[in-house]
Amino acid sequence: MIKSITSQQQEYFDNLIQEYLKDITEFPETNKEEAIRVCQDMAESMNVKKPIIIFGKNPYETILICEMSKVIFGNSCESKKDSQLGSQLGSQLRTQLSFQLESQLESQLDSQLSFQLESQLYSQIDSQLDSQLYSQLWSQLDSQLDSQLRTQLKNINDNWYLSLWWRYWDCFYQFGKHIGIKFDNKKLDLLNRFLKHCYFVVPHEGIWFVSENPIKTNWNNKKQLHNDNKSCLEFKSSLDVPTFEIFCLNGISVPEYLVKTPESKLDINWFLEEKNADIKAEFIRKYGIDRMIHLGKQIDTYENHNNDWWTKSEYKLIDMSAIFESIDYAPHLYMKNQTTGIYHLEAVTPDCKNLIDAIGKTRWNGRDLNKYTTIDIK
Amino acid sequence: MNKLRHYTHGEVNFFETNMLPNNLSKVEVKDSFYIVGESETHGNDHRVAVLDKQKVEFFEDEKGTLYMRNLTETNVYCPNKDRHDTVTLQPGLWEIDKSMEYDYLEQELRAVVD
């Protein structure tokens, strides 16, 4: 049982995490030879037919190629097994590889040390890998397929697999190997090579469709996906224009319009029609909070009330009727997110004449403010 | 009269209640957390940590309103800590409700989503 690590081993772990971070935030050029080899090795480990590998420029095109192949070749390119292969691949990664490696790790590594190492790994890698890259890629792909491809190809098989998330564990196992944990090296090597060279794959019987890596990712200094004026995850495309892009401002997935439109040309009507609070907050941040509230007229402010929470959140009630064509009074609650410092401007019902109304009648859905005291968490 | 406690975690509110309503259905919690507010934009849900399923329980009424009983201090957090600070709820009974906003174009009240 390994109960502690040396300072050199800790330094190795720190450097390994940085290597993985570099890999998942910058993405190297796709090594197609390695990708082909490891997909075929993975297929062999799953006891399925050795596949030929077709590459797409990005995840969207990869699925498109896969679907077009079915249209062109009909049933010869699709079998009943196909619908199971994606989940079988997931199961192979999870149950046959990662869980078994994890079990070997747990049996040889002291639980306290394991907890300590995993905490470091989690704090340094997980937010970027899981909450940002994995989550944004998955949701964008899902929504783009839903809105575009599903309508064009009625019978799309969304049998794709995004393996990115597993790199967190791969990093842990690689360090375990370095400090002397005895793994099944064949499984460890297969998992490591697969995750390194295939982050997105659509497996079919005898033919696997693999996406090339992104060519560029853009992050802000808080390690959130972000680009002020173009996509934050750039991919190759078969056309002269991008076929798959992801737009984010400060880690929030936003429509292309909000990223590509210069702040001076942002249309306030777009803000009015947007329903998502985070996207609206990013609109305000780009449009400029001062510019925004100057369009309105202040009705009430936290300074008129003795409430610590309201003061810290800088609550104000502002009539924004000037941005509507035919509304005489449109009170909005102006407030600051105390964690991020981002300002929100959210509409409240027209019967709100002051902050007490705005919080009680609208925000709290008709509750009596006098019954409650908001607990300050800081 | 002592006021009831209120905690906020983004658009998710926890209103203390003296007693739970009758006829609630127990909500099964499968993971070590329960999502009380889903995120549309960044996968950064509002989660309540459920470290001991005997001590942190969720219930729902017929309208879908969510209630919680925690016998121990319980954290509310987002996977990405940059978006919201973690809030520690003291033991109690809570009604969980989303903040509301008014849509002037649709002229309707709706729950805030992020």
Total number of domains constituting chain A: 2
Minimal Cα distance from A362: which residue of B?
B100
Residue B62 lies in a domain: yes
For residues A206 and A309, state if they share a domain.
Answer: no
Cα–Cα distance between A308 and A291 in angstroms, integer?
Answer: 27
Contact at CB, B83 and A339, closer than 8 angstroms: yes
Q: Give pLDDT, residue A122.
A: 81
Sign of CA pseudo-dihedral A363, A364, A368, A373: negative
Total number of domains constituting chain B: 1
For residues A301 and A207, state if they share a domain.
Answer: no
Contact at CB, B101 and A346, closer than 8 angstroms: yes
**Model confidence at B82: pLDDT above 90:** no
Q: Give pLDDT, residue B105.
A: 87
Residue A358 lies in a domain: yes
Model confidence pLDDT, tens digit, residues B16-65: 999 999 999 999 998 889 999 987 665 678 999 999 999 999 999 999 99
Of A213, A248, A272, the residue that ends a domain is: A213
Does A369 reach chain B within 8 Å, measured CB to CB?
no
Of A186, A213, A240, the residue that ends a domain is: A213
For residues A74 and A207, state if they share a domain.
Answer: yes
The alpha carbon of residue B22 is apart from the nearest alpha carbon of chain A, in Å, by: 20
For residues A186 and A65, state if they share a domain.
Answer: yes
Cα–Cα distance between B96 and B37 in angstroms, integer?
Answer: 10
For residues A194 and A329, state if they share a domain.
Answer: no
Residue A221 lies in a domain: no
Q: Give pLDDT, residue A149.
A: 60
> What are the pLDDT tens digits along chain A (378 aa)?
888 889 999 999 999 998 888 888 888 899 999 999 999 999 999 999 999 999 999 988 998 888 888 777 765 555 556 667 777 888 888 888 888 888 888 888 888 888 888 888 888 777 777 777 777 777 777 777 666 665 555 555 557 788 888 888 899 999 999 999 999 999 999 999 999 999 899 898 889 999 999 988 888 888 888 998 999 888 999 998 888 888 999 888 899 999 999 999 999 999 989 988 889 989 999 999 889 999 999 999 999 999 999 999 999 999 999 988 889 999 999 999 887 788 999 999 999 999 999 999 999 999 999 999 998 765
Of A160, A178, A213, the residue that ends a domain is: A213
For residues A50 and A147, state if they share a domain.
Answer: yes
Contact at CB, B10 and A252, closer than 8 angstroms: no
Residues of A in contact with B84 (CB under 8 A): 337, 339-340
Contact at CB, A349 and B102, closer than 8 angstroms: yes
Residue A72 lies in a domain: yes
A203: enclosing H helix or E strand: strand A200-204
Residue B76 lies in a domain: yes
Residues of A in contact with B97 (CB under 8 A): 364-365
Sign of CA pseudo-dihedral A355, A275, A258, A200: positive
Minimal Cα distance from B78: which residue of A?
A131
Q: What region does A180 belong to: left with phi over 0, alpha with psi -120 to 50, or beta?
A: left
Q: Give pLDDT, residue A2.
A: 87
Judge contact between A354 and B109, C-beta under 8 A: no
The alpha carbon of residue B72 is apart from the nearest alpha carbon of chain A, in Å, by: 17
Nearest C-alpha neighbor of B79 from the set B42, B24, B28: B42
Q: Per-residue b/e over B43-54, b at no fewer than 16 CB within 10 Å?
A: bbbbbbbbeeee
For residues A307 and A209, state if they share a domain.
Answer: no
Name which of B5, B13, B113 is nearest A373 (Cβ-Cβ).
B5
- Residue B12: domain span: 6-111
Average pLDDT, chain A: 87
Residue A336 lies in a domain: yes
Q: Give pLDDT, residue B43.
A: 61
Residue A313 lies in a domain: yes
Residue B1 lies in a domain: no
Residue B45 lies in a domain: yes
Q: Per-residue b/e over A283-315, b at no fewer than 16 CB within 10 Å?
A: bbbbbebeebbeebeebbbbeeeebebbeebeb
Contact at CB, B83 and A340, closer than 8 angstroms: yes
Its ipTM equals: 0.91
Name which of A224, A338, A371 is nearest B4 (Cβ-Cβ).
A371
Rg of the Cα trace of chain B? 14
Q: Give pLDDT, residue A36.
A: 97
Q: Give pLDDT, residue A298.
A: 96
- Residue A314: domain span: 294-371
Contact at CB, A273 and B105, closer than 8 angstroms: yes
Name which of A224, A272, A277 is nearest B113 (Cβ-Cβ).
A277
